[in-house]
């Protein structure tokens, strides 16, 4: 299954969207997190900020998802880095 992930905030230097291939019958957000990390590391810019990835959350068009949430094909997901404001 190919999952499209829109990138925001600290992930935007890697592009606007990344397609990730998941080789499992019933993929979950936790599977996407692993594959997403591998995909980022293969980009020319490289990726070495594991803390950022671990503190970020994946979301669909309606909600932020738990790690155990099952992914659906033909759905675009987003990775949301932590933010702060004041």
- Strands 76-80 and 2-7, how do they pair? parallel
Q: What is the mean pLDDT of the chain?
A: 91
Say whether pTM exceeds 0.95.
Answer: no
Q: Are 39 and 81 in contact (CB under 8 A)?
A: no
Q: Spell out the domain ranges in the chain.
A: 2-80
Distance, CA of 56 to CA of 1 (rounded, Å): 22
Q: What is the mean pLDDT of residues 23-40?
A: 93
Report pLDDT digits (tens) over 59-84. Answer: 999 999 999 999 998 899 999 998 86
What is the chain's length? 86
Among 48, 56, 60, CA closest to 80: 56
Distance, CA of 20 to CA of 54 (rounded, Å): 17
Distance, CA of 20 to CA of 86 (rounded, Å): 34
- The domain covering 2-80 belongs, at the CATH homologous superfamily level, to Beta-grasp domain (3.10.20.30)
């Amino acid at each position: 299954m190919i999952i499209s992930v829109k990138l925001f905030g600290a992930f935007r230097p890697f592009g606007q969207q990344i397609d990730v291939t998941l080789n499992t019958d019933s993929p979950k957000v936790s599977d996407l997190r692993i594959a997403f990390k591998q995909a980022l590391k293969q980009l020319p810019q490289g990726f070495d900020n594991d803390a950022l990835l671990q503190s970020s959350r994946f979301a669909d068009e309606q909600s932020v998802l738990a790690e155990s949430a099952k992914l659906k094909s033909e759905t675009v997901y987003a990775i949301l880095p932590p933010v702060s404001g004041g």
